[in-house]
Amino acid sequence: MPTTMVAQSLASGILVGALYGLAAVGLSLVFGVTKILNVSHGELLMLGGYTSFWLFTLFGVDPFAGIPLSMFALVIIGLIVYQLLFSRLIKLPTEDKIRTSLLVGFGLGLMLQNIALRLWTADNRGITPSYAGAVLTVLGVRLPYVRVASLVIAFVFLLALQLFLQKTYTGKAIRATAQDWEAATLMGINVHRVYLLSFVLGTALAGAAGTLVAVGYSVEPVMGLHWTLKALIVLVMGGIGSIAGTLIGGLILGVTESAAAVWISGNYRHVVGLAIFILVLLIRPQGLFGAKEG
Amino acid sequence: MTIKKGISLALLVIGVVALGLVPRMGASESLLNLLILMFIYTMLATSWNILGGYTGQVNLGHAAFFGLGTLTARMLYTGGCPLPLAFLVAGVVPVVFSMLIGVPAFRLRLRGDYFTIGTLALSQILYITIGNVLPKITYLPMADIQNYQILPRYYIILALTVFTIGVAYALVKSRLGLGLVAVRENEDAAESLGVNAFAHKLLALAVSAFLGGLTGGAYAYYQPSYYFNYTFSPPWSLEPVTMTFIGGVGTVHGPVIGAIFFVLLKEWLVLRVGEYHLIIFGVLFILVVLFLPGGLVEAWERIRRLVARRTTVKATAPTACAGGNNLPGN
Amino acid sequence: MLELEGVNAGYKDLQVLWGVSLRVGEGELVALVGPNGAGKTTTLRIISGLLKPTAGSVRFLGRQLDKEPAHRIVEMGIVQVPEGGRVFTGMSVQENLELGAFTARARKEKEQTMKWVYQLFPRLEERRHQRAGTLSGGERQMLAIGRALMAKPRLLLLDEPSFGLAPILVEQIFEMIAEINRQGVAVLLVEQNVRAALELAQRAYVIENGRIVGEGSGDALLSFESVRSAYLG
Ligand SMILES: Nc1ncnc2c1ncn2[C@@H]1O[C@H](COP(=O)(O)OP(=O)(O)OP(=O)(O)O)[C@@H](O)[C@H]1O
Ligand SMILES: [Mg+2]
């Protein structure tokens, strides 16, 4: 196998892997803090992608400049979804909460997917600004500018989130609530506000990820389940509550998939990730990098 | 209680006999097709409910069992294998497959959500892989298609449906069924009473997979042509969950009611709003999960109790028996 | 400053507290003692608002507490050190203390309070960057108390602060509690270590099966026959 081909597949894997990481981190944050496992996360990501698609085609808004707008749209959607649906589960015991939230998310995903089908048809949509086709070639490896930019932006988001959680008072309150909500309440923390904030932060991150996916790749109504699964795979690999673990998990998944595409067949790209997922789930349920829960 | 049981049994027999007589009363082919659809969905929901309802282990990848059932039965049947054997193997193959996730997940006592997302992933693996390996349409044998007989299919699938409900009923009424519910309500407490939670969950999974596969067998026998991977697609995972919850999770009659309701509502909605019906189903499902976790069965029970209370108040009867409490654990 | 009157409370169908009434005055140190499962922790949960009473009233500085959410009660100045301390094990000692000063009222004086806490517990200052999960049992308990002090409590609720500690540490913790009380903080102390608690407290209540069955000055209860036979052996 020629080395450029190996390098190319490695590079493509890393580029898409960063997006997997970004997609997963929102899901992970929400689950870690609220114990709501929102399997409609992929559909929310899709809505983020379509928001930028709309902004671009209707108003000519540059997709990268439009990231704050699609995040804002997802904040609104997140607020509605949380207040209307998930907030009703928040007081359930953890096991029941996870189970019921899975079901609610499942139904919500179905709903959003079909709404998207009505609004935007089943077609694959991409965002194509003037620089869309530009490619940076390094030693024969082709790196599309938009994907490189997406990688950088994903890194920035993850770093910013890390700093926010580690350094700010609000971030610490979020971590405290994730560890022990009752003890957090006894610190005077309004945990219901923290839940809402975390959920909305998670959906905003899905909005950002969706935009990057729409620019570098494409969006379609049925992509939700696909991205939810990617996020879950990364979550299981990286463990809950570790942003670095999530990023590494995303990169590993991306690279493994491209390797599988090269060595086995492009058709099995997505199967490999799922297979790893099942294995990790069964062998090391606390995640490859995560500490044991509790 | 025994009188009530007798009445329900009589109603059941009358219902089945009536369904058996429907084709003789000059029913149109489209009515028979609609009924077959109800049978298949009843089987699908009932098979899901055995694991998801009785043990509380939410399976979001039931399409894997259904799909494996269709694949196996279709392969065997078109290969000339006798129908009963094809059905049997269609049930067994998913059972073997289900152990892949069931044994490790239940033995390690992983939290329920690990099992749930595991099933979701496994069904996706199959969906993609079958799409890659067999990217084509499967047809019934030429002889069957040229001379497609709906009547034998109607009766056979009716029989399979009765069998499926029978298995579910027998399971619930047995000691095993009690064990399943005990495990769902409180696994530790159940174990301390000597219930082997691992064995119980595994058994429920096996029965659920077997009946799910059998449902697939029925579908493969009924449907003249479809893409091989179609029966592995996400809707086949989604719909049994939706139907069971709408009907009443964790009860024998819930999935039956849910399936009938689902098919009728779908027919009605498709005519009126077309593809928008899927959005409506999503909303309906969420509403049921959040506000009526016992589904139509619970709604009926509530109404009945309300009426009963009214009448007992009027008659000033000394006792107000609320009837069997079959609220499912949420 | 704190008054419970005829409080009933429980979990789901199980009623645990039956008409509990008790009072803690300004600057007072009051003990609440009783056997396992008597309802001591439940009483503290009621005061902190983690659990709402089904009947009766809870008043603090003249204000009704039973409708207030738990985090507002902290803001008013009632701070609890829960059973077992429940420190945030994944965070550093310093971060734990910072979280203690989460309320707006406490945050303003965070730096000074932290100095005071470090003075009270020099051990914590030495370990300020260590993860709380790696602390010893005694250190965790100190951290839990220090964290509560960061909230600038007017009334401090302590749930078995001596639990699981070596006798010498128990003595230290009790001295700390006395010291904190001398500085003007009212204390409601739940203890299994009845003798020490009664010696420390100005007044005490005895709770059994969810009912207050005895009340008096610490010394009086110490000499009270049934208390002696039941708890002091
Ligand atoms: N979350 C809960 N759910 C149900 N019952 C509870 C719960 N917490 C406590 N109980 C019950 O309430 C009763 C009183 O418990 P509580 O924790 O208040 O006792 P305690 O006096 O603090 O005991 P200990 O000295 O052992 O800490 C006990 O019978 C206990 O089993
Ligand atoms: Mg206690």
Indicate the pLDDT class of residue B233, thresholds 50, 70 and 90: very high
DSSP A125: B
Residues of A in contact with B276 (CB under 8 A): 114, 118
**Which pLDDT score, from 0 to 100, does residue B311 have?**
76
B125 and A278: CB-CB below 8 Å?
yes
Q: How do residues A105-155 score in pLDDT, each as one tens digit?
A: 989 998 999 999 999 988 889 898 888 888 888 888 889 999 999 999 999
Q: What are phi and psi of C215, to 5 degrees?
A: -155, 145
**Which pLDDT score, from 0 to 100, does residue B315 have?**
56
Give yes or no for B292 touching A (CB within 8 A): no
- Residue A140's region, left for phi above 0, alpha for psi from -120 to 50, else beta, is left
What is residue C164's three-state secondary structure? Answer: coil
**Burial of B124 from C-beta contacts in 10 A (0-12 / 13-18 / 19+):** buried
**Which residues fall within 8 angstroms of residue A221, CB to CB, at 6 or more apart?**
A46, A113, A114, A116, A117, A120, A122
Ligand 1 atom closest to Cα of residue C40: 21
Most confident option among B171-185, C112-126, C164-178, C207-221? C112-126
**Which pLDDT score, from 0 to 100, does residue C218 have?**
76
Ligand 1 atom closest to Cα of residue C39: 18
**Of the bound ligands, which one is closest to the alpha carbon of residue C159?**
2
Indicate the pLDDT class of residue B327, thresholds 50, 70 and 90: very low
Residues of A in contact with C103 (CB under 8 A): 187-188
Ligand 1 atom closest to Cα of residue C190: 22
Give yes or no for B323 touching A (CB within 8 A): no
Indicate the pLDDT class of residue B330, thresholds 50, 70 and 90: very low
The answer to whether A63 touches A215, Cβ cutoff 8 Å, is: yes
**Which residues fall within 8 angstroms of residue A168, CB to CB, at 6 or more apart?**
none
Indicate the pLDDT class of residue C32, thresholds 50, 70 and 90: very high
Distance CA C52, CA C11 (A): 10
**Which pLDDT score, from 0 to 100, does residue C156 have?**
97
Indicate the pLDDT class of residue B320, thresholds 50, 70 and 90: very low
* Ligand 1 center–CA C133 separation, angstroms: 26
Say if ligand 1 is within 6 A of residue C193 CB: no
Residue owning tokens 């691992």: B198
The residue type at A49: G
Collect the ranges in chain A with pLDDT lower than 50.
Answer: 291-294
> Higher model confidence: residue B196 or residue C79?
C79
**Which residues fall within 8 angstroms of residue B169, CB to CB, at 6 or more apart?**
B252
Distance CA A227, CA A229 (A): 5
Residue owning tokens 């560890």: A179
**Which pLDDT score, from 0 to 100, does residue B321 have?**
36
**Which pLDDT score, from 0 to 100, does residue C208 have?**
92
A15-47 as b/e: b if 16+ CB within 10 A: bbbbbbbbbbbbbbbbbbbbbbbbbbbbbbbbb
Instruction: State the helix-helix crossing angle for A145-167 and A191-216, rounded to 10 degrees.
Output: 170
- Distance (Å) from the C-alpha of residue C183 to the closest C-alpha of chain A? 21
User: Taking the CA atoms of chain A, what radius of gyration do you get in angstroms?
Assistant: 19
pLDDT over 50 at B322, yes or no: no
C70 and A179: CB-CB below 8 Å?
no
Distance CA A141, CA A132 (A): 17
Pick the CATH number of A3-283 from 3.40.720, 3.40.50, 1.10.3470, 2.40.10: 1.10.3470
Kindly report the pTM of this predicted structure. Answer: 0.89
**Which pLDDT score, from 0 to 100, does residue C228 have?**
63
Domain residue ranges of chain B, discontinuous segments joined by +: 28-259
**Which pLDDT score, from 0 to 100, does residue B193 have?**
85
The verdict on ipTM greater than 0.85 is yes
| Secondary structure (H, E, C), chain B | CHHHHHHHHHHHHHHHHHHHHHHHHCCCHHHHHHHHHHHHHHHHHHHHHHHHCCCCCCCCCHHHHHHHHHHHHHHHHHCCCCHHHHHHHHHHHHHHHHHHHHHHHHHCCCCHHHHHHHHHHHHHHHHHHHHHHCCCEEECCHHHHHCCCHHHHHHHHHHHHHHHHHHHHHHHHCHHHHHHHHHHHCHHHHHHCCCCHHHHHHHHHHHHHHHHHHHHHHHHHHCCEEEHHHHHCCHHHHHHHHHHHHHCCCCCHHHHHHHHHHHHHHHHHHHHHHHHHHHHHHHHHHHHHHHCCCHHHHHHHHHHHHHHHHHHHHHCCCCCCCCCCCCCCC
* Ligand 2 center–CA C159 separation, angstroms: 7
pLDDT over 60 at B97, yes or no: yes
Distance CA A66, CA A54 (A): 10
Which residues does C contribute to its contact with A (CB < 8 Å)? 48, 50, 69-71, 74-75, 79-80, 82, 86-91, 95, 98-100, 102-103, 106-107, 147-148, 151
Q: How do residues B124-151 score in pLDDT, each as one tens digit?
A: 999 999 999 999 999 998 888 888 889 9
The answer to whether B314 touches B264, Cβ cutoff 8 Å, is: no
- Bridge-based pairing of strands C203-208 and C211-217 is antiparallel
Indicate the pLDDT class of residue B12, thresholds 50, 70 and 90: confident
Which residues does A contribute to its contact with B (CB < 8 Å)? 37, 39, 85, 88-89, 95-96, 98-100, 102-104, 106-108, 110-112, 114-115, 117-118, 225, 229, 232-233, 236, 265, 267-268, 270-271, 274-275, 277-278, 281-282, 285
Ligand 1 atom closest to Cα of residue C83: 27
Nearest by Cα to B103 from B209, B212, B233, B177: B209
Q: Which residues pair with C12 in a beta bridge?
A: none
| Closest Cβ–Cβ partner in A96, A106, A108 for B241 | A106
**Which pLDDT score, from 0 to 100, does residue C50 have?**
96
DSSP A292: P
Nearest by Cα to A160 from A208, A127, A199, A112: A208
Q: How do residues C65-119 score in pLDDT, each as one tens digit?
A: 988 999 999 999 999 999 999 999 999 999 999 999 999 999 999 999 999 999 9
Question: CA B26, B32, B35 angle in degrees (round to 5)?
Answer: 130
**Which pLDDT score, from 0 to 100, does residue C69 have?**
96
Give yes or no for B174 touching A (CB within 8 A): no
The residue type at A63: P
The answer to whether C16 touches C60, Cβ cutoff 8 Å, is: no
**Which residues fall within 8 angstroms of residue C119, CB to CB, at 6 or more apart?**
none
pLDDT over 90 at B73, yes or no: yes
Indicate the pLDDT class of residue C139, thresholds 50, 70 and 90: very high
Q: How do residues C180-211 score in pLDDT, each as one tens digit?
A: 999 999 999 999 888 888 889 999 999 999 99
